[in-house]
């Protein structure tokens, strides 16, 4: 990840079509599952037969089968979520994803098959909960399938996502090594790096031959990243240090066996990993030589239609680029006015709020020392913020997750291109906590007055509270506990920032200013994303707009704009999701009057997992009707 996201933002996770992408035929997968469960009792096998073949009479069984049929072909997703651990099934821990373009096509074929099965049911005959699941899954399938036309438009390899960074990150942070079997699976996965990188190389090359090539800066950034990873001495490579550290914690492991495993890993890194990265880097160099500097989605064939689809997928609405652009301009003006009020209250001039904000970014009282002690103090302060807000959560939430959230440093190997902060959810079985990761590459990027809002967004009451609760809600069909609805997930986290501001979770006016600057940042995103991809803004124009209206330093603004270029529409999800939740809350307050309960509203928004915004609207409409006196 050679290009950076700044300290005020979190980079998006891999798109759904990249998280679940391996293309093995469904029938073969189901046969594989049947073989695996053959060790269970005959009674259990008999129960599972109607689950695996035909049309289950109970749609909940269909939901389960659909999730299993997709997840079973995505070994990294299974390691991440661990849904099969309860059944002691593990056929996936030695395997990686299929990163080929053919694998992406096969996933879409599978989704069409699932949608056909879903449409065999009659939603008008379902109860409200089952109908909600039906509508949510149907929206997901319909929208993803509609994206088949634009499969070539995506940039599966870019400066913040792709196999080149995702694979080592996965093995370091997700693949657990607690015994020799885990270590052997680790080695098996490392051995497959070369194949995965070759699949990614072929995917990018094939898209380029069809006329779909990322801008030059993207190719050059990823080339630099891959070359640097390949050049790292083997024993300093994170793949080596992760296994070495993990084996050192297995007390019963003989030293001889430990050295044997590490020796095998050294050989794999030299013969499989480093050559794979160098081959990818060479291809990227060739592609960059003929790449253009045009940035927007408009540059590709049918680019306008692709951007409309991308906005729908990420925002889960049908609002046009022009509408979203205007919303961004309106919100930017509103937040500037709110910031002026705080500047006035703290004795600062109010004529140029962005200039004042840039001054505060450099104010020594809000900065940490650039030292190991300073970096540790940042982590400790984030932990204190989370501990503090945890005690306040029952004031506005009736349900809280059981899973804990920990604060960790972003691994040094990935900090150069990583977000300023991000969140990784706990495992489904509870064996791994949620993790709020903080990037300490440059302590000058971290200002004290922004930290509370960032913790609220990434941990509680933001991502951790929402995602951990969804994973712990066993009444939901399994697929709804993992719904990849960016507008809901990021919209909730931005709404959580607003709750913290409204409920007095901040300690100083400067903390409140930090909250407003974070919201402003998301409002400006609406303007620049639509500007780049719909209005044909140049990269330079978008950068200048972000500097002038969001108060970002030029380097951070450049990194942000480069992020939006490779992920059209994604940056619009945050603000559009937040505005929808606020709209629903306002409607509930108006219709329920004195009977409106904020805790109950927040709980019902979270109770269904991440949903398309139109489906969330149905949930709140029903809740209002159930709680109305009329």
3-state secondary structure 372-429: HHHHHHHHHHHHHHHHHHHCCHHHCCCCCCCCCEEEEECCHHHHHHCCCEEEECCCCC
pLDDT of residue 359: 87
Q: What torsion do the CA atoms of 119, 122, 126, 129 make, to the nearest 10 degrees?
A: 20
pLDDT tens by residue, 110-119? 999 999 999 9
pLDDT of residue 416: 74
pLDDT of residue 10: 56
Instruction: Quote the CA–CA distance of 194 and 548 in Å, as a whole number.
Output: 44
pLDDT range class, residue 188, cuts 50, 70, 90: very high
Q: Return all residues near 244 (Cβ < 8 A) that are at least 6 apart.
A: 262
- Please, are residues 436 and 379 in contact by the beta-carbon 8 Å criterion? no
pLDDT range class, residue 15, cuts 50, 70, 90: very low
Q: In what order do the strands lie in the sheet with 421-424?
A: 405-409, 434-438, 421-424
What is the mean pLDDT of the segment spanning 181-187? 98
pLDDT range class, residue 49, cuts 50, 70, 90: low
CA atoms within 13 A on the CB side of 331: 25
pLDDT range class, residue 45, cuts 50, 70, 90: low
pLDDT of residue 48: 56
Question: Pairing state of beta strands 421-424 and 434-438?
Answer: antiparallel
- Please, are residues 239 and 313 in contact by the beta-carbon 8 Å criterion? no
Instruction: Quote the CA–CA distance of 367 and 260 in Å, as a whole number.
Output: 46
Q: Is the pLDDT reported for residue 541 higher than 80?
A: yes
pLDDT of residue 12: 46
Q: Is the pLDDT reported for residue 414 higher than 50?
A: yes
Q: Mean pLDDT for the chain?
A: 91
Q: Is the pLDDT reported for residue 579 higher than 70?
A: yes
Q: What percentage of residues in the chain have a pLDDT greater than 90? A: 81
Q: Is the pLDDT reported for residue 13 higher than 70?
A: no
Tokens of 330: 């309106």
Neighbour tally for 67: CB within 10 Å: 21
Q: Which residues, listed in sequence order, are joined to residue 434 by a DSSP beta bridge?
A: 405
pLDDT tens by residue, 312-336? 999 999 999 999 999 999 999 999 9
Instruction: Quote the CA–CA distance of 278 and 265 in Å, as a whole number.
Output: 18
What is the mean pLDDT of the segment spanning 467-492? 96
pLDDT of residue 50: 59
């Amino acid at each position: 990840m050679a290009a950076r996201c700044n300290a005020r933002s979190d980079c998006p996770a891999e798109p759904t079509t990249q998280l679940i992408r391996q293309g093995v035929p469904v029938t073969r997968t189901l046969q594989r599952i049947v073989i695996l469960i053959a060790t269970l009792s005959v009674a259990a096998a008999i129960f599972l037969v109607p689950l695996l073949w035909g049309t289950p009479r109970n749609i909940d069984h269909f939901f389960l089968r659909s999730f299993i049929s997709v997840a079973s072909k995505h070994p990294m997703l299974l390691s991440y979520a661990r849904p099969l651990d309860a059944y002691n099934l593990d056929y996936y821990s030695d395997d990686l994803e299929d990163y080929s373009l053919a694998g992406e096509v096969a996933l879409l074929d599978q989704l069409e098959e699932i949608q056909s099965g879903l449409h065999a049911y009659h939603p008008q005959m379902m109860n409200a909960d089952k109908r909600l699941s039906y509508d949510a899954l149907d929206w997901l399938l319909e929208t993803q399938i509609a994206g088949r036309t634009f499969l070539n438009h995506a940039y599966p390899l870019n400066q913040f996502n792709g196999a080149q960074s995702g694979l080592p990150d996965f093995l370091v942070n997700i693949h657990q090594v607690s015994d020799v079997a885990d270590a052997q699976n680790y080695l098996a996965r490392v051995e497959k790096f070369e194949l995965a990188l070759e699949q990614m190389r072929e995917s990018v090359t094939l898209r380029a031959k069809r006329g779909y090539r990322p801008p030059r800066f993207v190719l050059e950034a990823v080339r630099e990243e891959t070359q640097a990873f390949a050049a790292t001495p083997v024993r300093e490579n994170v793949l080596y240090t992760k296994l070495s550290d993990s084996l050192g914690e297995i007390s019963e492991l003989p030293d001889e066996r430990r050295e044997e495993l590490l020796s095998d890993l050294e050989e794999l890194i030299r013969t499989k990993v480093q050559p794979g990265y160098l081959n990818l880097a060479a291809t990227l160099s060739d592609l960059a030589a003929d790449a253009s500097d045009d940035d927007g989605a408009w540059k590709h064939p049918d680019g306008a239609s692709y951007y409309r689809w991308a906005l729908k997928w990420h925002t889960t609405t049908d609002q046009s680029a022009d509408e979203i652009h205007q919303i961004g301009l309106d919100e930017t003006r509103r937040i500037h006015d709110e910031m002026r009020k705080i500047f006035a209250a703290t004795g600062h001039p109010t004529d140029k709020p962005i200039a004042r904000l840039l001054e505060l970014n450099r104010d020594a009282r809000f900065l940490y020392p650039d030292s190991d002690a300073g970096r540790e103090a940042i982590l400790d302060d984030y932990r204190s913020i989370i501990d503090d807000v945890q005690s306040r959560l029952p004031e506005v939430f009736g349900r809280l997750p059981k899973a804990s959230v920990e604060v960790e440093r972003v691994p040094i190997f990935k900090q150069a291109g990583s977000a300023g902060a991000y969140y990784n959810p706990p495992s489904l079985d509870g064996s791994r906590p949620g993790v709020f990761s903080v990037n300490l590459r440059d302590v000058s990027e971290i200002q004290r007055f922004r930290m509370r809002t960032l913790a609220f967004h990434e941990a509680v009451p933001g991502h951790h509270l929402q995602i951990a609760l969804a994973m712990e809600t066993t009444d939901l069909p399994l697929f709804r506990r993992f719904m990849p609805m960016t507008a809901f997930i990021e919209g909730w986290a931005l709404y959580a920032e607003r709750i913290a501001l409204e409920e007095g979770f901040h300690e100083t006016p400067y903390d409140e200013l930090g909250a407003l600057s974070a919201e402003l940042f998301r409002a400006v995103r609406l303007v620049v994303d639509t500007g780049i991809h719909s209005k044909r803004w140049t990269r330079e124009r978008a950068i200048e707009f972000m500097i002038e209206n969001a108060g970002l330093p030029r380097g951070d603004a450049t990194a942000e704009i480069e992020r939006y270029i490779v992920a059209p529409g994604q940056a619009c999800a945050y603000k559009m999701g937040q505005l929808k939740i606020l709209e629903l809350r306002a409607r509930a307050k108006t219709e329920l009057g004195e009977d409106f309960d904020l805790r109950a509203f927040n709980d019902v928004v979270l109770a269904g997992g991440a949903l398309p915004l139109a489906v969330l609207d149905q949930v709140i409409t029903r809740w209002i009707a159930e709680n109305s006196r009329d």
